[in-house]
Amino acid sequence: MDASALPMPSGTFTIGKTFNFEAGHRLPGLPPEHKCSRQHGHSYEVEVILTAPELEEPGFVTDFGALAPFKMYLDTELDHHNLHEVLPFEPTSERLARFLATWFIHNVQPTISGRLVAVRVRETARSWARFDVKAQ
């Protein structure tokens, strides 16, 4: 069968890129007996998910290399920091996901062809939070 003769379905393209950083935090809003109220750390994994209705040449939603400013931000501002000392909120994974989505939308999205769909923050292999960006 000649694949070039097949009709292409309509839809959108989606990609994801994962970044890592190490950081400590505590959640002082929790009762003192809660383990997360004490200082502890995580090997955070942050995934950005992007979409586009059409591909940019040579066939990308966004060139993964164009996401380097996000990696640089994570490395310089969050990696090996105490998050409760550098962020303006109690650093739960949910709030961190929304904060990173906001930073991405203002600092990276204007320079790329894809649109941010979501940011997922993973604290451990079994726990994560995701912030989904409303389409505008």
Biggest CA–CA distance in the chain, Å, is: 66
Q: Which of 22, 40, 56, 80 is catalytic?
A: 80
CB 123 within 8 A of CB 105: no
Q: Which of 36, 47, 81, 84 is catalytic?
A: 36
94 noted as active-site residue: no
Span between the terminal Cα atoms of the chain, in Å: 40
123 noted as active-site residue: yes
For 29, the 3-state DSSP assignment is coil
Catalytic residues: 36, 80, 123
